[in-house]
Structure 1
Amino acid sequence: MPNDAGNPAAAQPPLFETMSTMRAMRRLKPDPVPDELLERLVQAAVWGPSGGNIQGYEYVVVADPAVMARLAPLWKRCVDAYLATTGKHAPAGMDEAAYGRMVAAIEYQRDHFARTPALVIPCYRMPLPAPDEEGQRASLEALGEAAAHRLAAVQERFTALAEGSCVYPGVQNLLLAARGLGLAANITIWHLMLEEEWKQALGIPEEMRTFAVIPVGRPQGRFGPVRRRPVSEVLHRDGW
């Protein structure tokens, strides 16, 4: 048997290969994705962690071409708004040619959205805590008055991050599962510019928050290595 002890690449678990080739592939074949595969993606998402094990998530899966066609105008409005503002220019340090290719892929997805095989929309709503004066006093004592005051000032952000932390790990599981199954899937949040319209179109209850729209399908191109900043540039040991 060959000795791989001196080959770092050979020691990498298959999951690392999956993660390193998870490009955001927006050009999808129109072929339907079987329901069983879509259910496997949602199962992978459900395996993600949930704060307090509350499991307040719900997943809307769209695969009906008629529904997709109704959503296409909303998608176009959101993408056009993004490209006119945040996406108008390449981020600092990004190669202009590479950014142009990314924009071309976004525009392709926009123009062919009605033929998207499937969408997954993760939703979540954190239950409102019951009034608890004793708990509030204990929290104030633990944090201190100044910190408790700062927390109250950012409570809305805290809640949004708490919900997101219960959703996005599951979304990453879904993306990993899609890559492992040979499917292309990419996370987008552009729909939040018209979230109420998306919720109305899909019958999502008012009290639920939506956290992404994830197009899913078989890729037209090939998976390949992602381009990311090297670890040496982003790692801070034992503090900043």
Structure 2
Amino acid sequence: MTMETVQADSSALGGPPLFDTMSTMRAMRRLKPDAVPDETVEQLIQAAVWGPSGGNMQCYEYVVVTDRQVMARLAPLWKRCVDAYLATTGKYAPAGMDEAAYGRMVAAIEHQRDHFADTPVLIVPCYRFPEPRLDEEGLAASARALGPEGTQHMMETQTRFQALAEGSCVYPGVQNLLLAARGLGLAANITIWHLMLEREWKRELGIPEDMATFAAVPVGWPAGNFGPVRRRPVADVIHRDRW
């Protein structure tokens, strides 16, 4: 099975200007070393804060790194994570992806790895999910609502549910940040490779042990050009009314 992709064309949808932003929001890994003004960085975080948060709890925090000395200390950690990724999951092109296109992507990943110390801004979204308030009456009511099978399934998938609950409170804000970066002419891409060495990253950045990190987003002025993304055709991914 091949993975056919099409070049995004927002004009075909006749949508608002935001559609143009989304349709040209490539993962940009080649960054100029030029500094990004503090007020521009704050605009990115403001966009992230505008994102929805489960229960409107807003338990997110954002570590923003611009100090070159700190970035230089993070560079070896980044290299180890990227090398581990390229040796495993990233070793081969996804099924159906053009080898030449995948080679260009890997080259960009390696470029970012080798020049990470020159990254102008690194943003690390964090979240501390509050402990749930549970009581016997509430648990009994939940069990009645779900039924025996549903309750058993919920117990078996609690770890996954918790991870998705936390992610749903963070990643909408991260997407807002990426959209804002594109709108401001900045290059950015979301990564989670740092999670392979999360303890070391948290120690280096002074992040509390009970605070979870969800991404590492390098940001800077693009060394390349924005352009239409290539994605699977919409008709191939829609299942109407049922699978």
Measured against the shorter chain, the TM-score band is: over 0.9
SS in 1 for 2:230: coil
Correspondences of 1:73-112 after superposition (within 5 Å): 73-112=76-115
**Unpaired runs of 5+ in structure 2?**
1-10
Deviation at 1:10, TM superposition (A): 8.7
Task: Identify the match of residue 67 of structure 2 among 60, 64, 69.
Answer: 64
- Note the alpha carbon deviations across 1:208-233, whole angstroms, 9 max, x for none: 10000000000001100001001011
Distance 1:232 1:10, change over 3 A: closer
Question: 1: CA distance between counterparts of 2:192 and 2:114?
Answer: 18
Question: 2: CA distance between counterparts of 1:42 and 1:147?
Answer: 39
2:184 aligned partner: 181
SS in 1 for 2:219: strand
Q: TM-score, normalised by structure 1?
A: 0.95
- Note the alpha carbon deviations across 1:145-194, whole angstroms, 9 max, x for none: 11111111111110000000010000000000000000001000000000
1:131 aligned partner: 134
In the TM superposition, structure 1's runs of 4+ consecutive aligned residues that sit over 4 Å from their partners are none
Q: Indicate yes or no: 2:139 matched with 1:170.
A: no
Task: Identify the match of residue 40 of structure 1 among 39, 43, 56.
Answer: 43
Deviation at 1:12, TM superposition (A): 2.4
Question: 2: CA distance between counterparts of 1:88 and 1:44?
Answer: 34
Correspondences of 1:190-209 after superposition (within 5 Å): 190-209=193-212
1:160 aligned partner: 163
Deviation at 1:53, TM superposition (A): 0.5
Deviation at 1:125, TM superposition (A): 1.6
SS in 2 for 1:73: helix
Question: 1: CA distance between counterparts of 2:132 and 2:239?
Answer: 36
Identity %: 76
Question: 2: CA distance between counterparts of 1:152 and 1:168?
Answer: 25
1:122 aligned partner: 125
**Unpaired runs of 5+ in structure 1?**
1-7
SS in 2 for 1:128: coil
Corresponding pairs, count: 233
Correspondences of 1:215-230 after superposition (within 5 Å): 215-230=218-233
